[in-house]
């Protein structure tokens, strides 16, 4: 989908605050309410806007430990992958995971209230899926965390 300047302005505003009143959003992007609403609908139908969510503060929810887990496996069958993804999806502390290129097969982001709670996640994961090697890295300080995507490439 080709995005014009106004589409990008709408997306930029929605990334900052999707909860703002439509009339305010329309004013910020230089449109009246109805054309702005139609553009938002078009962006949703095209899948550019996947959903609107509330972003929660992890620290306010006692989730102070952030762990990045590297996983290497010697299992690459469809059966293993299904079991792995099902297991990952059933562990709410695992908030992101990626299949990687290079030395690491998978990268997981885990949030937990304590190191002990992280260890429980670790034990649950290794009890359900055969994994060759795991290395975990604990974030000492969060320097940047955003859900805003750059729009200059669209």
Tokens of 5: 């300047």
Give domain status of residue 153, yes or no.
no
Q: Do 33 and 81 belong to one domain?
A: no
Give domain status of residue 127, yes or no.
yes
Give domain status of residue 145, yes or no.
no
Assign residue 114 the CATH number of its domain. 3.30.70.920
Give domain status of residue 10, yes or no.
yes
Give domain status of residue 63, yes or no.
yes
CA atoms within 13 A on the CB side of 35: 8
Give domain status of residue 51, yes or no.
no
Q: What is the pLDDT of residue 121?
A: 98
Counted domains in the chain: 2
The boundaries of the domain holding residue 81 are 59-138
Q: What is the pLDDT of residue 132?
A: 97
Residues 53 and 62: their CA atoms lie apart, in Å, by: 20
Split at pLDDT 50, 70, 90, the class of 106 is: very high
- Whether the per-residue pLDDT at 1 is higher than 90: the answer is no
Give domain status of residue 149, yes or no.
no
Q: In this predicted model, what pLDDT tens digit does every residue of 56-105 receive, in sequence order?
A: 999 999 999 999 999 999 999 999 999 999 999 999 999 999 999 999 99
Split at pLDDT 50, 70, 90, the class of 16 is: very high
Select from 10, 108, 95, 12 the least CA-distant residue to 56.
95
Q: What is the pLDDT of residue 68?
A: 98
């Amino acid at each position: 989908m080709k995005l014009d300047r106004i589409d990008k302005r709408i997306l930029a505003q929605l990334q900052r605050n999707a909860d703002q009143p439509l009339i305010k959003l329309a004013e910020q992007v230089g449109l009246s309410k109805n054309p702005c609403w139609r553009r938002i609908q078009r962006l949703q139908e095209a899948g550019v806007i996947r959903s609107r969510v509330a972003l929660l503060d992890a620290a306010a929810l006692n989730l102070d430990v952030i762990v990045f887990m590297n996983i290497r496996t010697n299992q690459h069958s469809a059966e293993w992958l299904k079991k792995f993804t099902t297991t990952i999806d059933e562990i709410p502390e695992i908030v992101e995971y990626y299949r990687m290129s290079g030395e690491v097969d998978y990268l997981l982001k885990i949030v937990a209230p304590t190191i002990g709670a992280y260890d429980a996640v670790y034990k649950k994961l290794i009890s359900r899926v055969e994994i060759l090697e795991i290395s975990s890295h604990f974030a000492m300080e969060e320097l940047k965390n955003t859900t805003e995507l750059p729009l200059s490439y669209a």
